[in-house]
Structure 1
C-alpha cells in the first residue's frame, strides 16, 4: 500500500495518490494532471478511480482531464449532480483498489454532496479517512459555501454536526485524517499548519469535535465570525466549472502571448485588461508599469487574485520574472482565471528600454514611521489592511482597519490630500493595497515596510481592540 499526500502550498490544498497491486486512485486532483499520470506510470500502476470529495469552490479540479487521459472513473458521493458521466456512489458503497477497500461515507454539511472516503488496508483494518472539507486539522469546513440552495448556513451546520458525530467520530482514534486543505485556505477559519493527524488527537484538540458539545453550541461556534471573512468572489464560478467541466489547462497556456512593450500597452488599452505584476514587492515598488497592481507570486497569489478580481473572465496581462512566468499562468488557471492575454516580454526592463514611463510607491521603514507618528502626535492617517481578527488582537492607536479583501468597498476612507500610511502584518498585503490605490488615482500612499511585525518593535503606541465601529 502506498499513500502519498501531494500538497500545494499556494492553495493550501492536499491531493492524494493511493496505490495497491498495480491499481491507484487520485483524490481531489488539481487541474494540471500530468503529475499524477507520470507518478502512476513510474510505478507501473493504472489509475482506476478519481475520487472527488465534493464540488470544490477554491480551485478548478482536474477530474475531467484526468479521466479523459486515463479512462479512470470519476466518483462523487450521494446527491452530486455533475454535467458529465460519473459514478454517483451510494452511502456505504465499497470501491476496491488492488487489495484495498474504500468505503464511501456521505458527510453533508460543508456542501450537501460532501463525502469522506474511509480506507481499509490489505488486512481489512480501518486505516485512514480522506475527509475533504468535512474535517480539517483543527477545524471543520465552513457551511456557507453551498450554491443555489434553499438551506441556510445554520441548516448546513446542523448537517455537519450530524455527519461528524454519526459518521466520523465513531471511527477508531488511531485512524489517520487526511483533509483537502490546511492553514491558509478560505474553506475554514481555524486550520492547523499540520496537514494530517490522528482522529484521536482531533477529538482532543479540534474545537468542533468536543464530546460534550451540543448541536446548538456547534452551530454557533462553527458559524461565528464567518460574516467577517466572506469567501472570495471566484468560489461560485469554480463550483460551476467543476460541475460542468473546464477546458484543458494546456489550452489555457497556449493562448498566452509574448507581447512587446508597445503591444502590451495596446492590449491593456484596447481590452481593459488588469495588469498583474508578480515580482517581489521590494522590486515592484521602485519601478512598475503605471496602473498595474502588485500581487506577488511569493505570497498567497492565487487566493488574492480570486479575492480582488471579482470577474473570473476578466482579461489579464502578466508582468513576471522569466523564471516564474509559467508558474504564474498555472496558478491563475488553478482558480479558473483563464482569460490571460499575454505577458510583457522582457519585463519592466524592456518597458523602460522602450522609453516608457514607470511609476513607484513610497515605502518607509517602521522606524521612520514611528518618528513621523510621534512627531505628529499620532495625528496621521494609518490604514491597517489586516484581517479584523489580526487588528482586534493589537493595533496602532487610532489606526483604521480596512481589510485588503474589502478595499474596493472603502475607497472613500482614504484621503487624496493627506498621506495614507498603509501596513499589514509583514508587508505583502499593504503593497497590494498601495498598488490598487495608486491605480485608482491615490498618489499619496506610503507603505510601511515590514508591517506590524516591524512596527511592534518600535515604541509606537498600540492598543487592544476596543470599539467594533472601527472595523470596516
Structure 2
C-alpha cells in the first residue's frame, strides 16, 4: 500500500495518490497534473480512478486533465451533476484499487454531493478516510458556499447527520486525510496539521463533540466570514468543465516588448506583478497590482482580480510559467502575455515608473502627534484586527478593497499609512490604492508584527468586532 498526501501551501489544499498492486487512484487533483503522472511512473502503476470529494470552490480541479491523460474514470458521490462524462457513485459503493478497497460515504453538508472515501486494507479493515471538506483537523467545512436551494442552516443540519452517522462511527485509529489545512477559507478555523485520526478529532474537534443538533447548527453557521468572491466561479468551472491547461499556457506565455506591453495596457489589459513585495515597492509599472508569488498568491489573485479582463504579467524572469500555472489553479484562463525581461526591461526602455514609500513603525509614531490628516489603514482580516490593533486605525480588510465604495471615503488631503501583519498584504493594498488614484500613502514596514512593539504606538483590542 502506498498513500501520499500532496500538499499545496498557497491554497492550503491536499490531493492524494493511492497505489496498490499496480493500480492507482488520485483524490482531488490540482489542474497541473504532472506530479500524479510522475508518481504513477515511479510506482509502475496505472491510474484507474479519479475521485472527487465534491465540487471544489477554492481551486480548479485536475479531473478533466488527468482523465484525458490517463483514461481514468472520474468518480463523484451521489447527487453530482456535471457537464462532462463522469460516474456518479452510490452511497457505500466500493471500488477496487488492487487488493485495496475504496468505499464511498455520502456525507452531504458542506455541499449536497460531498462524499468521503474510506480506504480499506487487504483484510477489509478501515485504514484511512479521505474527508474532503466534510471534516478538517479541528474544524468542518462551511455550509454556505455552493448549496443549491438550501440555506446554510439546512446544510448544517445535513452535516450534523453526516458526521454523526458516517464519520463518528469509524474506528478511532482510522487516519483522517482532509482536503485542506490551516489558512483555508473553506472552514472557519482549521487546525495546524494536515492529517489526524478519528479518535483525535472525536476528542478535540468542536463539531464532533457537539451532541445537540440545533446547537451544532448555530455554532457552525455563526462567525462565518464572507467567502472569497471567486469561490462560486471555481465551483461552476469544476461542475461544467474548462479548457486544457496547455492551451492556457500557450496563450499566456507570449513575451511582450515594453512597447507591446504598453500598448496592451492602453487597450485595457490589467497588469499583474508577481515579484516579491519588497521588489515591487522599489519600482513598478504604473497601474500594476502586486500579488507576490511568495504569499498566498492564488487565493488573493482569485479574490482581487477580475475573471473577465485580459491580464498581462510582470514577473521575476524565469517565473512566468509558474505564475500562469498558479493562476490557472483558480480559474484564470485570461492571461495574454508577459513583459519580456521583466521590470528591468521596462526601466531600460526609459518608461514611466511608480514606487511605494515604506516607513518604519517609529517614523509613524513620530508623525502621529504632528499630522492631523494622518490615517492608519489596517488591511488585515476582522479577526486579526479585533485581536489587537493600533489605536484609531481603521479596519479595511484587503478582501474588501475591490469594492470602489470602500475606497470612496478617502480624501486627497489624508496621509495614509497602510499595514497588514507582516508586509505582504499591505503592498497589495497600496498597489490597489495607487491604481485607484490614491497616491498619498506609505507602507509600514513589517506590519503589525513590528508595530505592536513600538513604544510610541498604542495597541487596543476590540473583541466585539469578531465576525
Query: TM class by shorter-chain length?
Result: over 0.9
User: Separation in 1 of the partners of 2:141 and 2:69?
Assistant: 31
2:328 equivalent to 1:333: yes
User: Separation in 2 of the partners of 1:252 and 1:199?
Assistant: 41
User: Separation in 1 of the partners of 2:369 and 2:244?
Assistant: 56
In structure 2, the residue corresponding to 1:408 is in which secondary structure?
Answer: coil
Aligned to 1:104: 104
- How far apart are 1:380 and its partner, in Å? 2.6
- How far apart are 1:467 and its partner, in Å? 6.4
2:388 equivalent to 1:391: no
- How far apart are 1:61 and its partner, in Å? 0.8
- Aligned ranges for residues 406-425 of structure 1 at < 5 Å? 406-409=400-403, 410-425=406-421
Per-residue deviation, residues 79-136 of structure 1 (Å, max 9, x unmatched): 0011222111000101111010111000000000000000001122100100000001
Per-residue deviation, residues 343-399 of structure 1 (Å, max 9, x unmatched): 0101111111111010011110112112222455x8731111110000111111111
Is the Cα contact below 8 Å between 1:18 and 1:24 reproduced in 2? yes
In structure 1, the residue corresponding to 2:319 is in which secondary structure?
Answer: helix
Per-residue deviation, residues 154-198 of structure 1 (Å, max 9, x unmatched): 000110111001100111111100000111211111112210011
User: Separation in 1 of the partners of 2:366 and 2:321?
Assistant: 42
Per-residue deviation, residues 321-352 of structure 1 (Å, max 9, x unmatched): 01322111110000011110110101111111
User: Separation in 1 of the partners of 2:281 and 2:13?
Assistant: 30
Aligned to 1:18: 18
Aligned to 1:267: 264
Aligned to 1:463: 460
User: Separation in 1 of the partners of 2:464 and 2:43?
Assistant: 59
Per-residue deviation, residues 253-274 of structure 1 (Å, max 9, x unmatched): 111210000000101111x121
- How far apart are 1:466 and its partner, in Å? 6.4
In structure 1, the residue corresponding to 2:136 is in which secondary structure?
Answer: coil
Is the Cα contact below 8 Å between 1:313 and 1:337 reproduced in 2? no
TM-score, structure 1 normalization = 0.96
Is the Cα contact below 8 Å between 1:141 and 1:187 reproduced in 2? yes
User: Separation in 1 of the partners of 2:239 and 2:162?
Assistant: 23
Is the Cα contact below 8 Å between 1:54 and 1:76 reproduced in 2? yes
Per-residue deviation, residues 178-222 of structure 1 (Å, max 9, x unmatched): 000111211111112210011111111211111x53111111111
2:402 equivalent to 1:404: no
- How far apart are 1:458 and its partner, in Å? 0.6
Aligned to 1:313: 308
Is the Cα contact below 8 Å between 1:5 and 1:15 reproduced in 2? yes
TM-score, structure 2 normalization = 0.97
Corresponding pairs, count: 463
Aligned to 1:324: 319
In structure 2, the residue corresponding to 1:357 is in which secondary structure?
Answer: coil
Is the Cα contact below 8 Å between 1:370 and 1:455 reproduced in 2? no
User: Separation in 2 of the partners of 1:22 and 1:64?
Assistant: 22
Structure 1 unaligned spans of 5+: none
- How far apart are 1:415 and its partner, in Å? 2.7
Query: Which of the numbers 226, 229, 246 marks the counterpart of 1:230?
Result: 226
Aligned to 1:433: 429
